Amino acid sequence: MGDFFPMSMTPEPVTSADELTTSSAPERAAVPASARHRRRLMALLTGLTVVVLIADQVAKAWAVSSLVPGERTPVIGDLLGLSLVYNPGAALSIATGMTWLLTVVAVVVAVVIVRASRRIGSTGWAVALGLLLGGALGNLIDRLFREPSFGRGEVVDFIAYAHVFVGNVADVAIVVAAVVIVLLSMRGIRIDGSVESAQARASETDDAHRAPEVPVAGSDSDGGDAPQSDAPGAAGDTMTDPADV
């Protein structure tokens, strides 16, 4: 009687619960591994933030106690020196009358960095965001708690670069972070650790500029000839009379 059963009725092999558990074990193990990696990156980001923040505030405290405003102490000739400056504005003394706005901007930047760090998956981005956050917080503390008033404090600058501008440790960290971010972006490395190749970006650009193909009337999608009609009485068909059979 086995010859009367079609092939489709052959019983399917049943996968045991043990096999299911074994096959899904690597997938479950990958999740904790990814979480551990992200925790390590967050620890790196947080550690760099704390180091930059402490180094910046210690250096500023030393500059305030050791340097005299207006006096320049050369370190490498005219290229690099120490000169204490209280800056109410941004870099190069821009927006000196808008200290409160710069404070708001610094708070927004810090919040954005913290939120972006939740998706961290790249060591390079962890370094960049740690340096950036540490530098932003270093200058933000000055604006919040230094004279003349809360939210309008002046940033302590003391590293004189030639006769162009004067900065601090926080500024150095921010500039380095900006360079790292540019390099990561040029290499196509996203904040979550995924990599976008140059070939993929070029392919996406070509697809966006490629015009869609318009089907020609009377032809199929492959560009072949239109199918012949099989209906009786169509041109070219020969009909047979049943009486002639």
- What does the block give as tokens for 160? 């004189």
CA torsion angle for 94, 95, 101, 103 (degrees, to 10)? 40
Catalytic residues: 157, 171
Q: How would you write 118-160 as a 3-class SS string? A: HHCCCHHHHHHHHHHHHHHHHHHHHHHHCCCCCCCCCEEEEEE
Q: Would you say residue 236 lies in a domain?
A: no
Q: Would you say residue 215 lies in a domain?
A: no
pLDDT at residue 11 above 70? Answer: no
Q: CA separation (Å) from 221 to 208, 213, 225? A: 22, 10, 10
The residue range of the domain holding 81 is 37-193
d(CA 192, CA 122): 6
Q: Would you say residue 158 lies in a domain?
A: yes
d(CA 114, CA 129): 9
27's enclosing H/E stretch is helix 17-66
Residues in CB range of 67: below 8 A, 6 or more apart? 73, 82, 83, 84, 158
Q: What share of the chain is helix, strand, coil (3-state, %, to 5)?
A: 55, 10, 35
**pLDDT, tens only, 63-91:** 999 999 989 999 998 899 999 999 886 65
pLDDT for res 126? 96
Three-state DSSP at 230 gives coil
**pLDDT, tens only, 110-143:** 999 999 988 999 999 999 999 999 999 999 999 9
Quote the number of domains for the chain. Answer: 1
Q: What are phi and psi of 128, to 5 degrees?
A: -65, -45
Choose among 133, 139, 95, 99: nearest CA to 116: 133
pTM of the model: 0.67
pLDDT for res 163? 84
Q: Would you say residue 115 lies in a domain?
A: yes
pLDDT at residue 229 above 80? Answer: no
Q: Would you say residue 9 lies in a domain?
A: no
Q: Would you say residue 93 lies in a domain?
A: yes
Q: Would you say residue 189 lies in a domain?
A: yes
pLDDT at residue 48 above 80? Answer: yes
Q: Would you say residue 75 lies in a domain?
A: yes
If one compares 134 and 233, the residue with the highest pLDDT of the two is 134
**pLDDT, tens only, 133-189:** 999 999 999 999 998 888 888 999 999 998 888 999 999 999 999 999 999 999 999
Strand blocks (E) in the chain: 72-76, 80-87, 155-161, 165-167
Q: Can you say whether the dihedral through the CA atoms of 76, 78, 80, 81 is positive or negative?
A: positive
Residues in CB range of 55: below 8 A, 6 or more apart? 169
pLDDT for res 231? 46
